Structure 1
Amino acid sequence: MRYYFLLVFCCVCTLGAKAHPMPNSVILLDIKSKGVAAEVQLPLSELELALGHKVELGPALHAYLLAHVRPQSLEGQPWTVQVKDLHIQPAEQTATGPYNEVTATLWMEPVNGTSVRNFSLHYDAIIAEVSSHKALVSVRQDWERGKYGEHTFEVGVIKLDVKSGTIEPLIVSQEQGSLWKGFQSMVSLGMQHIAEGTDHLLFLLVLLLPAPLLVRQQRWDGYGGTKYALMHLLQIVTAFTIGHSITLLAGALGWLRLPSQPVEVLIAVSILVSAVHALRPIFPGREALVAAGFGLIHGLAFASTLANLQLDATRMGLSILGFNVGIELMQLIVILFVMPWLIWLSRIPAYKYVRVAGAVIAGIAATVWITERI
């Protein structure tokens, strides 16, 4: 009977082990013009099992990684590898649940100017000691092919071949991209950023709400005429464009950096200020200056998207231009749709209720965003 219970206990433990598989390593590749940046995510428990001791972030771990990450050109020439950063952070994979991982940032560079788009990745960290372990390799960024951000695509899996007892290198072979394709992708990214950036659009639209109206006795009055409305609208849009273009350039090039939280709070504040102005004029005739001033803040939020790409000078220059073109195109589409309606509605008395309703809704949204972001 004792052996029976022992057998049952072992079976339960085995089933439990199958229900909770150990996490795999993940390698994310960023294809650059002169080399490949790799983020290697190693499950801490598996790494300690492979090393046989507690992990310490120091020279020994550097040496271990350099010994087990060996990229080569397809002709067999070894690349240089540098460990840029090491840190431990929480992680989670769908099949395994939460765990801690060591994240290593590597820079891998070919010699003699060979291609960075085609190489063999010899990798056996953890796998050499823990035969069941795998490394999932994906490309996270390839600017010249318009690949960046959260949408990675898998290149392959590195694992032990049980039959031969060897760990075969993974051949990474990426299609040739171009500067033009990278530029096009930045235009699309700029358009997407505005289309999905509710706060940016809301600021501009609420500031435009009273633009066709005249001011009398510190209150919004009637329609100022088609020429007046068009000139006022164009001045506001142009000023906002100039403002965000300046800080987009400065932020993307690293000349000006602010933490993201105060920038996001100030963007919400800009919406609240424009909502109050739409209810009652607090800066009549100076809307263009206000649009330019708050545009500087909005541009810093735009810049963070590009700064995170960490591109060389040529590609960063094209990215700034393309991203800004995309922003302006989407803004132009929105303005061309909204402007005729603003001019038409502002001619009728009921526009007062449209303006007040829009301002109140924007003010509520801005107040919620300010609370959340603080």
Structure 2
Amino acid sequence: MRYYLLLLICCVFTLDARAHPMPNSIILLDIKSNGVAAEVQLPISELELALGHKVVPGPALQAYLLEHIHPQSLEGKPWRVTVKNLYIQPGGQTYTGPYNEVIGELWMEPVEQTSVRNFSLHYDAIIAEVNSHKALVSVRQDWERGNYGEQTTEVGVIKLDVKSGTIAPLIVSEEQGSLWWGFRSMVALGMQHIAAGTDHLLFLLVLLLPAPLVVRQQRWDGYGGIKYCLMRLIQIITAFTIGHSITLLLGALGWLRLPGQPVEILIPVSILVSAVHALRPLFPGRESWVAAGFGLIHGMAFAGTLANLQLDTTRMGLSILGFNVGIELMQLIVILLVVPGLIWLSRIPTYKYVRVAGAILAGIAATVWLTERI
């Protein structure tokens, strides 16, 4: 009876261990034009077990990493490795509870002009001392292949081969990309950003709600005619495009930086102002100036997506152009779908109720977003 009880207990602990494995290291690779940026995530519990002492980010830990990371070309020519940054952050969760990890940001560069897309990664940090440890390697960003960091691609696992007692290098072999492929992916990203960015579209649509109408006695009145309507729509859309294009360019190049939260807060503010204007004219005849002004704010929100890519000048220029083309294409699609119905509705008396209902719903949505972001 005791034997079966002991066996049951062992099985339970074995299942629990399988369900909550000890943390492994993670290596994320960003393929650049002249080298590879790597982010190494080392669980502190395992690292301290390997080193035999408490971990403190500093020169000693930097030297340890450099001693255990040796990328080289497939011809055997070593690369130059530099540790850019070391810090500690919260990691994941295991059966023993949450754990912290050391983050090492490295730059790996071929000494000679060899391919940055095909190389062998000799790596044995922690694994050399803790034989059960593994390093999971993935490509996080590869702009020329259309991978801009939204999802990672697994490359392989570095671990000890128990039979031979050796740690084999991992061969990283990425398919060849192109500038055109990268540009095309940025166009798609721009379209996706607008399609998923309800707040950006809502601002523009609410600002367009009263565009076909004329103002009389400080109130929105009837339809102003097809020429009047089209001119106003074109002015508003063009002004918004110019506004967000300017700050997208400045922000993506790092020439203009604003904290993220104020920018995110000002976007629902812009919707709220446009909603009030759709109910009663606040700035009649000056909608294009308001669209341009708030477009500057929306452009800063767009720029954060590109600034994080950390690309060289050529690829960043193509990214800005492609991303902006994608934004404009998606805006154009939405406008072509909405504007004909907007012009038709504005010619009938019941448009007043459509305008008021749209403005109120947009105002409610903006208030909710504003509260959340504050």
Structure 2: distance between partners of 1:95 and 1:115: 42
Equivalent position of 2:219 in the other structure: 219
> Which stretches in structure 1 are left out of the alignment for 5+ residues?
none
Equivalent position of 1:193 in the other structure: 193
Identity %: 84
Structure 1 letter corresponding to 2:33: S
Structure 2: distance between partners of 1:344 and 1:4: 80
1:139-159 Cα distance to aligned partner (Å, 9 max, x none): 010000101122111011111
Structure 2: distance between partners of 1:117 and 1:171: 10
Equivalent position of 2:203 in the other structure: 203
- Alpha-carbon contact 1:21-1:96 (below 8 Å) kept: no
Tell me the secondary structure at the aligned position of residue 107 of structure 2: strand
Cα RMSD for the two superposed structures: 1.9
Structure 1: distance between partners of 2:365 and 2:94: 34
1:83-124 Cα distance to aligned partner (Å, 9 max, x none): 111111112268987321111110000011111000000001
Q: Does 1:277 align with 2:255?
A: no
Structure 2: distance between partners of 1:331 and 1:154: 35
Tell me the secondary structure at the aligned position of residue 149 of structure 1: strand
1:193-236 Cα distance to aligned partner (Å, 9 max, x none): 00000000000000000000000000000000001000000000
In the TM superposition, 1:13-28 aligns within 5 A as 16-28=16-28
In the TM superposition, 1:222-301 aligns within 5 A as 222-301=222-301
Structure 2: distance between partners of 1:231 and 1:98: 59
Equivalent position of 1:171 in the other structure: 171
Cα separation, partners in 2 of 1:351 and 1:317, compared to 1, 3 Å: same
Tell me the secondary structure at the aligned position of residue 160 of structure 1: strand
Equivalent position of 1:370 in the other structure: 370
Tell me the secondary structure at the aligned position of residue 135 of structure 1: strand
Equivalent position of 1:61 in the other structure: 61
Cα separation, partners in 2 of 1:23 and 1:365, compared to 1, 3 Å: same
Tell me the secondary structure at the aligned position of residue 335 of structure 1: helix
1:317-366 Cα distance to aligned partner (Å, 9 max, x none): 00000000000000000111111011000000110010001000000111
Tell me the secondary structure at the aligned position of residue 152 of structure 1: strand
Structure 1: distance between partners of 2:257 and 2:249: 11
1:277-311 Cα distance to aligned partner (Å, 9 max, x none): 00000000000000000000000000000000000
Structure 2: distance between partners of 1:9 and 1:363: 60
In the TM superposition, 1:103-182 aligns within 5 A as 103-182=103-182
> Which stretches in structure 2 are left out of the alignment for 5+ residues?
none
Equivalent position of 1:38 in the other structure: 38
Structure 1 letter corresponding to 2:327: I
- Alpha-carbon contact 1:23-1:96 (below 8 Å) kept: no
Equivalent position of 2:312 in the other structure: 312
Structure 1: distance between partners of 2:173 and 2:20: 34
Deviation at 1:253, TM superposition (A): 0.4
Structure 2 letter corresponding to 1:278: A
Structure 2: distance between partners of 1:153 and 1:93: 22
TM-score between the two structures when normalised by the length of structure 2: 0.96
Tell me the secondary structure at the aligned position of residue 321 of structure 2: helix
Structure 2: distance between partners of 1:352 and 1:96: 62
Deviation at 1:44, TM superposition (A): 1.1
TM-score between the two structures when normalised by the length of structure 1: 0.96
More deviation, 316-325/8-17: 8-17
Structure 1: distance between partners of 2:270 and 2:294: 6
